[in-house]
A = this chain, B = another copy of it.
């Protein structure tokens, strides 16, 4: 049976106020009274109602989680799964629970994120990168509610974002290709409207320029960060008369798709060099083990939690952090080819 504060009070022979004070650690309660009430609360398994509490208090100890963009996209993307896992753990250590907003009905009713946050009175929220900044995200970004974007640049006064240094990601990949002697380099990115994708593409162009390498516009492809799109992009690349031998894909999943396309086309995978991005768990086990630019998912998740908590508790303003990527060399940029040359 679910107990209320009133019943506990009656049982203990005190007023609601006294019980409430005990719950909230006020110091004007006698020691013996406190002990007795605590005993009763324990005995009946009493828990204060979240609804009643959050109605009167400001704080809910709940943060909202929003997967922006296409319905449910990214919920099962390995990169975001890992980031969220660490975020959840870090927030959990501070007693926060996570409310994942569903957005199916949501889109139908044309509701907005801000309204939902207000409805639940969340203390803050985290928005997982969509492919573009929707008006609804912008509205939330500009609101009073503390928000952290993951792979999504938020600019509001009470917002911030965490993401890897995207230009550097491309730099690391291209540099590796360059040192390996690769000159014909293709780029498979995410949606054109995606911020991180365009940062990576921009970084790609910059570093190519630095190395004096020409950028073939035919070799710039756009996917959606998932496997299938990498497969499709690579297939198109392979159909071209002059086909690149080096491919940098902006996600490991797309890189895996590219590898699959190469294999399926009947060509030898050893004749290609492919670099992915993210360093998802699977990338070490696939064939060939994927050379990739690692994103520090644990750090991203942790930083998101730290910054968000700081905003909630200390009213910190606009904080954003860029985390360093790292090149992980495995075997998808075969040396054989170059040895033959």
Which residues of A are at the interface with B, using a C-beta cutoff of 8 A? 2, 45, 47-55, 60, 62, 65, 71-72, 75-76, 81-82, 84-85, 88-89, 91-106, 112, 114-116, 118-121, 227, 256, 259-260, 281-282, 285-288
| A92 touching B103, Cβ below 8 Å | yes
Q: In chain B, what residue has the closest Cβ to A260?
A: B285
Q: Find A76's partner among B85, B99, B101 (CB 8 Å cutoff).
A: B85
Task: Count copies of this chain in the complex.
Answer: 2
Distance from A302 Cβ to chain B, minimum over Cβ atoms (Å): 13
- Jot down 23 A-B pairs with beta carbons below 8 A, ordered by A: A2-B118, A45-B112, A45-B115, A48-B119, A49-B55, A49-B118, A50-B51, A50-B54, A51-B53, A51-B54, A51-B121, A71-B89, A72-B89, A76-B81, A76-B82, A91-B102, A97-B99, A97-B100, A98-B100, A99-B99, A100-B100, A285-B287, A286-B286
Partner of A92 from the list B49, B104, B116 (CB cut-off 8 Å) is B104
Q: A99 — which chain B residues lie within 8 A by C-beta?
A: 62, 97-100
Complexed CA–CA distance, A60 and B120 (Å): 10
Q: A231: shortest Cβ distance to chain B, in Å?
A: 11
Complex partner residue of A116 from B47, B75, B93, B103, CB under 8 angstroms: B47
* Measured CA separation A56–B329 after assembly (Å): 59
A105: nearest residue on chain B (CB-CB)?
B95
Note all chain B residues with C-beta closer than 8 A to A260: 285
Q: Is the CB of A118 within 8 A of B47?
A: yes
User: Knowing A62-B99, A282-B286 touch, does A92 contact B114 (C-beta < 8 A)?
Assistant: no
Contact between A105 and B98, CB atoms less than 8 A apart: no
A174 to chain B, nearest CB (A): 25
Least CB distance, A238 to chain B, in whole angstroms? 18
Residues of B within 8 A of A2 (CB): 118
A103 / chain B contacts, CB cutoff of 8 Å: 92
Other A-B pairs, 20, CB within 8 Å; known A89-B102, A227-B281? A47-B116, A48-B119, A50-B54, A50-B119, A51-B53, A51-B55, A51-B60, A62-B99, A71-B89, A72-B92, A76-B85, A92-B102, A92-B106, A93-B104, A94-B105, A97-B100, A281-B282, A282-B282, A282-B286, A286-B286
